[in-house]
Structure 1
């Protein structure tokens, strides 16, 4: 015991950091801070928890500063630069990033559906029957019609199309995305209107107030890409010309800051025999990952584009408990229910009385819908 010594006292700071970063269990970074006062001071002063978080999720490098609402340390960033105040800020940052590290490492092991609602499509062939909202229902057909989104027809098959979705929280870790092309069961030969490849972007609105005003009547029926700042862009993934739910797993989990996902569909492969134009049609989309709410939220700082990381310690246990739940499944909503949610049910008014009478009187089809739900 007399021969024991603390290597922190004999090694250069860079070498100590390299040693700590070799720990297999990221939780050991947090545990090391309680080994001794000397270790604790080193972990806090070096910002090791933040470095590990940024190493896992480079998007966190854009954190301007962190805050703990309703805490005494919230105002520390605006207080004088005395050593005591600087140390309190370092301690607060260590606590926030250590908690974030704990959440991140636990949540990504059990992903759930993270899409909350459809926002816009770059084009839509037939509004609202072929609206983007249909892609949130796992079914691709109903007794009288299909359930899918369709682009407009193009003579040039290289025209890209985009779909934009809002996620369940402004901070979400996304691990994989699924897309199912639509098979036109009502056309000769059952053509599949897939894309050649896909690419994914994540980010936040240029103006939160503006986007809320624009989306008063969801979803937007015109391109909205220029209303967002995309802070992450994936590689291009090949899509197979097959009627199935296709998985696109990201090389590394991505932290979406701002809560918006764009799916870019590149290259059209199927031409319609009806009008000899190219289309892309999608029946279902889902994004798997984990929202970090209610323990963590973000606030975009304009115009620099960096963000404020907000931490709510009282909600930490709730967020961690959610990580142990079984993966969620999408609600089995009918297409009409989805359209109602987005303020588009007005299209029903234009249907003729014969269709309405058939809808109300057709008990067999109503029972079929109920059995699917």
Structure 2
């Protein structure tokens, strides 16, 4: 036994590295790193925790550096930086990526709804009645009216449409996206306005300031693709012309770095009888996954497009909780058109077939409005 030598101390480093790289489970790599000081140092020195993360989530290759709360960011700015500082960076990277692997492995088994709000639709046929905001409600009818988003009509079946949503965190893992095409139960034959196929992109704004300004208003009713940098693009999924929630599951969970998701609706299949044009209509959208906050956040480093990965170890257990986080409140559509449209509907329901005839004194109608929620 005295003659035995730990194989990690072998001079044939490539062989040792090849063995460690065959550990494709983050938990196994963590276990290996606590076998001995030699094993731990080998795992850290070769950046194996980061390497495994990047293998599963290629977008992480764009991490320029990592930081940990309550500690100083370490950056090497010159060739003469000390070996000690280099080792501190490697140790920190190992800790952050090992923790990230743990979080990702656990959270993908218990996905929850991740949409925070609707950002834009490339077109809307009848705004605001057919706004993208309607897709956040699982009901296809609200207060006796159909609830859905509709594109504008086109003669060309190849014209695509896009819907963009802001997610609940700037750093999320997404496992599945569900879309329900809308069935027009009020039209002859109950046509279903699905797309032929869908594709998904995830990424971050080119200018966070511009996006903040846009988010302070209602969803945009025009293409907004030029406002974003997409760091992930999925395969194309076929959509069926059926009135049901259709599940599009990723073969490998995807990271949304920057907090925005785009749904590309490709190909039109349903023609509207009254005008002969082709439309795409969506009743409901769900994005399933988990926010990685508060343990992890990202900061985009302009103009390189790379990002800073921030780790808050004191929040790790909170992020790992399996319970579903409290859902964000449904957004309120506070435009004058929607307001008066629903006031008219309220008057119809409580007072007979009457039309709202313009602005009225809110003080005089306070009691009625207390019973009505936008």
Structure 1 contact 113–328 (Cα < 8 Å) conserved = no
Q: Aligned pairs, how many?
A: 352
* Alignment partner, residue 111 of structure 2: 111
Rate the CA distance shift 1:11–1:137 in 2: closer, same or farther, 3 A. farther
Rate the CA distance shift 1:285–1:11 in 2: closer, same or farther, 3 A. farther
Query: Would you say 1:291 and 2:291 are equivalent positions?
Result: yes
Q: CA deviation at 1:355?
A: 3.6
Q: More helix by proportion, 1 or 2?
A: 1
* Superposition map of 1:116-127 within 5 A: 116-127=116-127
Provide the secondary structure at the position in 2 that maps to 1:35.
Answer: coil
Rate the CA distance shift 1:227–1:61 in 2: closer, same or farther, 3 A. same
Structure 2 contact 128–338 (Cα < 8 Å) conserved = no
* Alignment partner, residue 365 of structure 1: none
Let me know the Cα RMSD of the aligned residues.
Answer: 2.1
Rate the CA distance shift 1:351–1:26 in 2: closer, same or farther, 3 A. closer
* Alignment partner, residue 163 of structure 2: 163
* Alignment partner, residue 74 of structure 1: 73
TM (normalized to structure 1)?
0.89
Q: CA deviation at 1:195?
A: 0.4
Rate the CA distance shift 1:100–1:273 in 2: closer, same or farther, 3 A. same
Question: How far apart, in 2, do the equivalents of 1:288 and 1:219 lie?
Answer: 21
Rate the CA distance shift 1:329–1:248 in 2: closer, same or farther, 3 A. farther
Provide the secondary structure at the position in 1 that maps to 2:157.
Answer: coil
Structure 2 contact 10–16 (Cα < 8 Å) conserved = no
Structure 1 contact 112–329 (Cα < 8 Å) conserved = no
Query: Would you say 1:343 and 2:334 are equivalent positions?
Result: yes
Provide the secondary structure at the position in 1 that maps to 2:105.
Answer: helix
Q: CA deviation at 1:82?
A: 0.7
Query: Would you say 1:357 and 2:347 are equivalent positions?
Result: yes
Question: How far apart, in 1, do the equivalents of 2:266 and 2:238 lie?
Answer: 9
Structure 2 contact 205–258 (Cα < 8 Å) conserved = yes
Structure 1 contact 113–329 (Cα < 8 Å) conserved = no
Question: How far apart, in 1, do the equivalents of 2:126 and 2:340 lie?
Answer: 14
Q: CA deviation at 1:350?
A: 3.7
* Alignment partner, residue 97 of structure 1: 97
Provide the secondary structure at the position in 1 that maps to 2:141.
Answer: coil
Provide the secondary structure at the position in 1 that maps to 2:285.
Answer: strand
Structure 1 contact 177–247 (Cα < 8 Å) conserved = yes
Query: Would you say 1:206 and 2:206 are equivalent positions?
Result: yes
Task: Give CA-to-partner distance per residue, 1:206-265, whole Å, 9 cap, x none.
Answer: 010111112220211211111001111111111111111111111211111101100000
* Superposition map of 1:253-272 within 5 A: 253-272=253-272
Unmatched segments (≥5 aa) in structure 1: 363-369
* Alignment partner, residue 31 of structure 1: 31
Task: Give CA-to-partner distance per residue, 1:139-164, whole Å, 9 cap, x none.
Answer: 10134210100001111111100000
* Alignment partner, residue 12 of structure 1: 12
* Alignment partner, residue 244 of structure 1: 244
Structure 2 contact 136–285 (Cα < 8 Å) conserved = yes
Rate the CA distance shift 1:23–1:348 in 2: closer, same or farther, 3 A. closer
Q: CA deviation at 1:17?
A: 2.2
* Superposition map of 1:172-183 within 5 A: 172-183=172-183
- Which deviates more, 79-88 or 163-172? 79-88
Provide the secondary structure at the position in 1 that maps to 2:52.
Answer: helix
Structure 1 contact 115–165 (Cα < 8 Å) conserved = yes
Provide the secondary structure at the position in 1 that maps to 2:100.
Answer: helix
Question: How far apart, in 2, do the equivalents of 1:352 and 1:59 lie?
Answer: 45
Task: Give CA-to-partner distance per residue, 1:170-222, whole Å, 9 cap, x none.
Answer: 11111111110000000010000000111111110001011111222021121
Rate the CA distance shift 1:134–1:19 in 2: closer, same or farther, 3 A. same
